[in-house]
A = this chain, B = another copy of it.
Amino acid sequence: MMTQLTQRSQTKVFEGLHAQYSHNSAALNCTMQFAIFLPPAASKETPVPVLYWLSGLTCTDENFMQKAGALKLAAELGIAIVAPDTSPRGDDIPDDPDQAYDFGKGAGFYLNATQAPWHEHYHMYDYVVDELPKIIEAEFPVTTSKSISGHSMGGHGSLTIALKNPQSYCSVSALAPIANPSNGLWGQKAFTNYLGSDRSAWHEYDATELIKERGYDKPILADVGTADSFETEELHSQTFLEAAEAAGVSIEFNFREGYDHGFYFVASFIENHLHFHAKHLFAT
């Protein structure tokens, strides 16, 4: 595999390294940018496992790295973090006609679109599952051990990708995930456009449907704030949890008193998620 990476930034942080790269993505058929944090322990001789982080609506590769406060503990634990962008990008990429925040650019929903005009570029599922890990494992001092996590739309991404690829990830977690998008306003808008109006096609990208149909035998951790204003219309945490229970899948799902949907919520609990993933990444 010879993917040409162009370094966009490189910064020392917590004795490790934060860097951003752009490259031509075959899956997305456009230029993509990702961010990577390498802990100080990472070297060719001592490669480290990777946590893939999927961000929420409107985010790029930058939000999590800048705002989550995750890098200090990741440096200590010896875990690399890779944060892709949230959709294909570029002037020639189709976008929401109203440039709404919840669809199109910045809102790829980690799926493979089947409907025109989205199907030519909106393949974030293939990018995250296949293309990006191949690049990371070829170009950086990492092992093939990986876990996956995300926030909001990214929590939807982490759950659905792990549920569809149980062999690929040591563990999965989510913060305030869109856990049953087929029954939320954001999800219905995205799925109708990207996947068409036949709701049976939506099941492949709905964590509640997937866990019902497939179960899951790896560790799952999730957190949501009890003051999250998107819970009722968009997240449906309880529906997901009930589907998991019915399927006999045990989840550590924490309802955090008084926390809302934003990045201060993510920051408040990200270290729990890093410890959780470290336990499973280093057990393999």
Chain A contacts with B in 223-276, Cβ cutoff 8 A: 225, 227, 258-260, 262-265, 267-268, 271
Q: Which residues of B contact A14 (CB under 8 A)?
A: 267-268
CB pair A11–B66 under 8 Å, yes or no, is no
Q: Which residues of B contact A260 (CB under 8 A)?
A: 11-12
CB pair B71–A13 under 8 Å, yes or no, is no
Chain A contacts with B in 179-227, Cβ cutoff 8 A: 225, 227
A156 at interface, CB cutoff 8 A: no
Give the top 8 A-B pairs by smallest Cβ distance, nearest first: A13-B264, A69-B69, A12-B258, A11-B264, A12-B259, A14-B268, A66-B67, A13-B268
A72 at interface, CB cutoff 8 A: yes
Oligomeric state, in copies: 2
A18 at interface, CB cutoff 8 A: yes
Expressed in whole angstroms, the Cα–Cα distance for A18 and B264 within the complex equals 9
Give the size of the chain A interface in residues (CB under 8 angstroms).
Answer: 23
Tell me what chain A mostly uses at the interface: helix, strand, loop, or mixed.
mixed
Q: Which residues of B contact A71 (CB under 8 A)?
A: 69, 264, 267
Q: Which residues of B contact A18 (CB under 8 A)?
A: 264
CB pair A11–B262 under 8 Å, yes or no, is yes
Closest to A264 in B: B13
Chain A contacts with B in 62-88, Cβ cutoff 8 A: 66-67, 69, 71-72
Closest to A9 in B: B262
Expressed in whole angstroms, the Cα–Cα distance for A201 and B264 within the complex equals 42
CB pair A13–B265 under 8 Å, yes or no, is yes
Expressed in whole angstroms, the Cα–Cα distance for A116 and B186 within the complex equals 51
Expressed in whole angstroms, the Cα–Cα distance for A268 and B72 within the complex equals 7
Expressed in whole angstroms, the Cα–Cα distance for A151 and B271 within the complex equals 26
Task: Provide a sorted-by-A list of 16 A–B residue pairs whose CB atoms are within 8 angstroms.
Answer: A11-B262, A11-B265, A12-B227, A12-B259, A12-B265, A13-B267, A14-B267, A14-B268, A15-B268, A18-B264, A66-B66, A66-B67, A66-B263, A67-B67, A69-B69, A72-B268
List 11 additional A-B contacts (Cβ < 8 Å) besides A18-B264, A71-B267, A72-B271: A11-B260, A11-B264, A11-B265, A12-B258, A12-B260, A12-B264, A12-B265, A14-B267, A69-B71, A72-B267, A72-B268
Expressed in whole angstroms, the Cα–Cα distance for A267 and B14 within the complex equals 8
